[in-house]
Amino acid sequence: MPLTHYLDKGVTLGGEQPCLTMGETDLSYAEVQRISHRVGRALQHSGIAPGDKVAVLSSNDLHAFASVFGISRAGAVWCPINPRNEAAENRYVLDAFDCSALLFHSNYAPMVEQIRRDCPKLKLLICIDQAMPYARSWHDWLADVSDEPLNVKPPIDVVMIAGTGGTTGAPKGVMLSDRNLETMSALTLMGYPFEGRPSYLALAPLTHAAGVLCLPIMALGGRIVIMPKPDLDEFLRLIEVRHITHTFLPPTLIYMLLQNPRLAETDRSSLQCFWYGAAPISVARLEEALHKIGPMAQLFGQTEAPMMISMMRPQDHFHADGSVARERLSSAGRPGPLVQVAMMDAEGQVLPRGQTGEIVVRGSLVMMGYYKDAAATAEASRHGWHHTGDIGYLDEDDYLFIVDRAKDMIITGGFNVYSVEVEQALMQHPDVQDSAVIGLPDEKWGERVVAVLQLHKGRTVDPAEIQSFVKARIGSVKSPKQVEIWADLPRSKVGKVMKKDIRAEMLKKQVQP
């Protein structure tokens, strides 16, 4: 099921129905379908062959997203480029993924100008919203192109190459097939509530989770409301006026939303499913969100196994009597029905239920491999399972608990301390907005547990109080030996706290006289 089939399915459910909305502009399913045929033919006329890689560099934009389906019409491979990356990283990605064409928004023209001369493989540059000295405008490029149907079969099954976050080195290209995205979409539709024609609000970047979540929405003929930039006041307004049924935010934005005074006065009755994911969420904040926002729903995945390794439906957050199932809120839900999940030890042995090990996955959700990186592919798929790099366990009710990233586990005084557990305890403190726990070298303990905190605006706290607070909840071994207060925590392009940067900064301070 290529990407175009989701759009074409939506057309059969009502070609005149709204497909993409941004501001006051609506594009119907039939209009987006015609655009996709024109983009596909324009790519052909520009010398883009089936199997070529076509990159899209843009903030959330309806024409940029519509072009994705044109790329698929031409049998080419979509390469979403993260607009929040630095120029050097995007230059690396364009070159490493062998991109032949780049469609970009003028907001990123300075970046394109900076890197295009170092990308000799690029033979086509198209600016989505205006002409550039070195790039044709979208309007001119499509001016005389027919919208007659075009569906070219690609030479390989890869429909998308997505870059990994690059937090542990140069980004790798994750090759995703039509089967991978079809499995992801099927799991979404099987696992979460969908009543009637959905209306999905995309604030988070369409280059990441928010983008692929559009596919199952389109399969139901739903409307996708695109926000070109983050604005939580506008987000709340759109929920009300567009009768939003589904949306997705990472935890950092959910924390901010909970502090927004407009939340209580917003009519949220249309919401069926408010997804959260991409990073661990505070149990305390999640319980608050259940009461203040509505039907929260978790998804856990990674680029290599997109979105739906495990799922927690809105009803899973509660017991049968309606009380909050607090014991489950720190879980990532249950493994999806089309996914096998297990825990594995360092020797490749699958562990019994309840034992902690690396989370491994297999099934049609798992990527085809890393682009032009056989060694990394073999390492990630050893023993016949995809290795996520996360440590966790399955409880007796089949709920998956992620206790840490393998590289973030702290060994202090001979004991294993999982940073996520310490962070959950810290997030229960009323003054703490966000936290990061790392291990630093220590002569006595080998590693000491260090907590770096971001407080709510206007709050102050005594580090000794924080230490006592954590000790009372999870014991002295796991209580931080050092507490730092920072105005803000460094974050990745998708909002994840960058522990690597925190550790580097703390180590630099440690060696300074």
pLDDT in tens, 126-142: 999 998 889 999 999 99
pLDDT confidence of residue 36: 97
- What mean pLDDT do residues 29-38 have? 97
In the chain, % of residues over pLDDT 90: 72
Which of 428, 423, 440, 430 is closest to 496 using CA atoms? 423
| pTM recorded for the entire structure | 0.83
DSSP 497: B
Interval 292-325: pLDDT, tens: 999 999 999 999 999 999 999 999 999 999 999 9
Set out the domains of the chain in order of their start, with CATH numbers.
27-179 (3.40.50.980), 409-511 (3.30.300.30)
Q: Is the pLDDT of residue 168 over 50?
A: no
End-to-end CA distance of the chain: 61
Which of 497, 410, 417 is closest to 454 using CA atoms? 497
Cross-strand bridge partners of residue 267: none
pLDDT confidence of residue 223: 97
pLDDT confidence of residue 191: 95
42 membership: H or E segment, kind and range: helix 29-45
Hey, is 368 helix, strand or coil?
coil
Hey, is 298 helix, strand or coil?
strand
Q: Is the pLDDT of residue 512 over 90?
A: no
Interval 211-256: pLDDT, tens: 889 999 999 999 999 999 889 999 999 999 999 999 999 888 898 8
Q: Is the pLDDT of residue 80 over 80?
A: yes
Average pLDDT, the chain: 91
- The confidence band for 498, taking pLDDT boundaries of 50, 70 and 90, is confident
- The confidence band for 169, taking pLDDT boundaries of 50, 70 and 90, is low
- The confidence band for 513, taking pLDDT boundaries of 50, 70 and 90, is very low
Lowest mean pLDDT among 9-13, 371-375, 405-409, 481-485: 405-409
Q: Is the pLDDT of residue 351 over 70?
A: yes
- For residue 352, count other CB atoms closer than 10 A to its CB: 10
pLDDT confidence of residue 280: 77
Interval 44-75: pLDDT, tens: 999 999 999 999 999 999 999 999 999 999 99
Residue with tokens 């050092």: 482
